């Protein structure tokens, strides 16, 4: 058992056998409580396999209690005592389980692990769908394209908002396969709509930080271009302001490569992060998307109106297109249009909808 436990931990951890069947592990540094929960799961998995002693299979169960410093105790004695209490709760829960001493921490850890487990299965179970939200030309009201937005329909949880699972997918790396799936679905539709003459605009696809940093991004994109036969001129990639600004030198190279392939790139949620303007000027991007938080209270709120105008002026002088997000009222649309905003997207024009509904929407728009 000691050998197996040792295989789960790092050199910097301390593992001790206190006596009998009790072991103590001190993890001196960890990034998140989720990481601790993962380690606990790994240990349980490792110890659950039977041992063979003199030809007999011996099954051992594991109960694990976790106390965190400094929340659950300031010294070894109180930490051990609380870890012990948590361990008894794990035992009571039916063994081969772990418990945090702090009940709310425990609930969160369990929920997260559950969510992660169902997220892992979501692709193979075909639970994702890509919705499309129209983007229109403000001056004419005609469609210019759409943004692809993922939806997760889980049989137990119902419809889960991307705001609730994209961050977790990002943290666990699951965003890479999920994002690749979105890319290929959106490209497939874009190619079909162009071929059928339904839409020759751009379909915008969100790329998360992790996807953007993925070393195989270009290969994955090449693969998708080959299978879907989409024209990159019909695809726009959206990167948030914080992703674009986080690693300037590297970002420029990747963006140039994407640009060379024929993709356009838009900066999403613009205004919510920190932009270096001199750097922005050098970026091979085509559009800024004004974050919904600045659009929401237009035209009444003087501060938001000033911010929106500033972004529009900035974009104009850099030769970039502008897209306003979250336009819900005619007043917002009129104001933005007067101030020179090119494109808009929001419930006023159309909510995110299934590919099929978007096709009907396009048919009506063409009338
Ligand atoms: P985003 O890229 O900024 O997308 C715009 C969000 O605003 C969408 O939320 C959209 O449904 C919502 N929205 C659009 N118009 C209106 C409006 O008039 N009023 C209001 N109140 N909301 C509006 P959604 O679909 O929940 O997506 C949230 C975020 O999740 C997205 O923000 C994006 O950052 C992320 N996301 C969605 N799909 C994907 C994906 O396929 N990949 C990645 N990496 N991220 C995604
Ligand atoms: Mg977006
Ligand atoms: Mg946005």
pLDDT tens sequence across 224-241: 999 999 999 999 999 999
Q: Do 62 and 191 fall within a single domain?
A: no
Distance 93 CA to ligand 1 centre (A): 39
Per-residue pLDDT at 111? 82
Does residue 155 lie in a domain region?
Answer: yes
Ligand in nearest proximity to the CA of 328: 1
Give one DSSP letter per residue of 127-181, joined into a string: -EEEEEEEEEETTT--EEEEEEEEEEEETTTEEEPHHHHHHHHHHHSTHHHHHHH
Please report, for the domain that includes residue 199, its CATH number.
3.20.20.450
Q: Do 60 and 199 fall within a single domain?
A: no
Instruction: State how many domains the chain has.
Output: 2
Does residue 18 lie in a domain region?
Answer: yes
Q: Torsion-angle region of residue 272: left (phi > 0), alpha (psi -120 to 50) or beta?
A: alpha
Ligand in nearest proximity to the CA of 271: 3
| Ligand 1 pocket, residue 347 CB under 6 Å | yes
Gap between the Cα atoms of 142 and 134, Å rounded: 10
Q: Do 96 and 203 fall within a single domain?
A: no
Residue in 162, 235, 344 to alter for ligand 1 test, most ligand atoms within 8 A of Cβ: 162
Give the closest residue (by CA) to ligand 1 atom 25: 149
Q: Do 344 and 291 fall within a single domain?
A: yes
List CB contacts of 317: < 8 A, sequence separation 6 or more. Answer: none
Last residue of a domain, one of 58, 76, 101: 101
DSSP strand pairing (235-240 vs 264-270) = parallel
| Ligand 1 pocket, residue 184 CB under 6 Å | no
| Ligand 1 pocket, residue 163 CB under 6 Å | yes
Last residue of a domain, one of 101, 128, 145: 101
* The two three-digit tokens of residue 10, written as one number: 């790092």
Distance 295 CA to ligand 2 centre (A): 15
Last residue of a domain, one of 51, 68, 101: 101
Does residue 340 lie in a domain region?
Answer: yes
- Could you tell me the residue range of the domain that residue 48 belongs to? 2-101
Does residue 86 lie in a domain region?
Answer: yes
Low-confidence ranges of the chain (pLDDT < 70): 367
Q: Do 78 and 130 fall within a single domain?
A: no
DSSP state of 200: -
Gap between the Cα atoms of 290 and 148, Å rounded: 17
Q: Do 291 and 329 fall within a single domain?
A: yes
Q: How many CA atoms lie within 13 Å of 56's alpha carbon, on the beta-carbon side? A: 5
Give, to the nearest 10 degrees, the angle between helix 217-228 and helix 175-195.
Answer: 30
Per-residue pLDDT at 277? 84
Q: Do 97 and 118 fall within a single domain?
A: no
| 94 touches 62 (CB < 8 A) | no
Find the helix or strand (DSSP H, E) in which 202 lies.
Answer: strand 202-206
Q: Do 246 and 293 fall within a single domain?
A: yes
Does residue 260 lie in a domain region?
Answer: yes
Q: Do 85 and 209 fall within a single domain?
A: no
Neighbours of 75 (CB within 10 A): 10
Does residue 108 lie in a domain region?
Answer: no
List CB contacts of 331: < 8 A, sequence separation 6 or more. Answer: 298, 299
Q: Do 290 and 157 fall within a single domain?
A: yes
* The two three-digit tokens of residue 279, written as one number: 């750097």
Q: Do 80 and 123 fall within a single domain?
A: no
Cα dihedral angle (300, 301, 306, 309), rounded to 10 degrees? -40
Gap between the Cα atoms of 236 and 197, Å rounded: 19
* The two three-digit tokens of residue 298, written as one number: 């237009």
pTM of the model: 0.81
Query: Ligand 1, closest atom to CA 238?
Result: 2
Gap between the Cα atoms of 286 and 339, Å rounded: 19
Please report, for the domain that includes residue 24, its CATH number.
3.30.70.270
Does residue 280 lie in a domain region?
Answer: yes
| Ligand 1 pocket, residue 206 CB under 6 Å | yes
Helices (H), the chain: 2-8, 33-48, 76-92, 103-122, 162-172, 175-195, 209-213, 217-228, 241-246, 248-261, 277-282, 292-295, 302-318, 330-338, 355-365
Spatial CA neighbour of 24 closest among 45, 4, 5: 5
Q: Do 123 and 209 fall within a single domain?
A: yes
Does residue 257 lie in a domain region?
Answer: yes
Residue in 149, 348, 350 to alter for ligand 1 test, most ligand atoms within 8 A of Cβ: 149
């Amino acid at each position: 058992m000691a050998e197996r436990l040792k295989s789960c931990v790092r050199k910097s951890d301390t593992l001790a056998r206190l006596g009998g069947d009790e072991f103590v592990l001190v993890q001196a540094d960890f990034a998140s409580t989720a990481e601790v929960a993962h380690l606990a799961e790994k240990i349980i998995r490792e110890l659950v396999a039977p041992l063979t002693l003199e030809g007999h299979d011996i099954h051992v169960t594991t109960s694990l209690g976790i106390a965190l410093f400094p929340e659950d105790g300031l010294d070894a004695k109180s930490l051990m005592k609380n870890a012990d209490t948590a361990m008894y709760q794990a035992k009571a829960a039916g063994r081969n389980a772990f418990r945090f001493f702090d009940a709310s921490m425990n609930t969160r850890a369990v929920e997260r692990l559950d969510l992660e487990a169902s997220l892992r299965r979501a692709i193979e179970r075909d639970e994702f769908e890509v919705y499309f939200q129209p983007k229109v030309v403000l001056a004419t009201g005609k469609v210019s394209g759409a943004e692809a937005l993922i939806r997760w329909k889980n049989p137990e949880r119902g419809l889960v908002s991307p705001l609730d699972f994209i961050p977790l997918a990002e943290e666990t790396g699951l965003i890479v396969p999920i994002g690749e799936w979105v890319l290929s679905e959106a490209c497939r539709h874009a190619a079909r709509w162009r071929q059928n003459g339904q839409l020759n605009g751009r379909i915008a696809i969100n790329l998360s930080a992790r996807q953007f940093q993925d070393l195989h991004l270009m290969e994955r994109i090449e693969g998708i271009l080959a299978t879907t036969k989409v024209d990159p001129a019909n695809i726009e990639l959206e990167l948030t302001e914080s992703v674009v600004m986080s690693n300037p030198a590297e970002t420029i190279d990747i963006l140039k490569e994407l640009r060379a392939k024929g993709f356009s790139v838009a900066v999403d949620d613009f205004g919510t992060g920190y932009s270096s303007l001199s750097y922005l000027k050098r970026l091979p991007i085509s559009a800024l998307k004004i974050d919904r938080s600045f659009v929401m209270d237009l035209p009444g709120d003087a501060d938001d109106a000033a911010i929106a105008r500033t972004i529009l002026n900035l974009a104009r002088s850099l030769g970039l297109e502008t897209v306003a997000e979250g336009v819900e009222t005619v007043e917002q649309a009129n104001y933005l249009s007067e101030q020179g905003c090119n494109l808009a997207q929001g419930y006023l024009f159309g909510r995110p909808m299934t590919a099929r509904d978007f096709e009907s929407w396009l048919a009506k728009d063409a009338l």
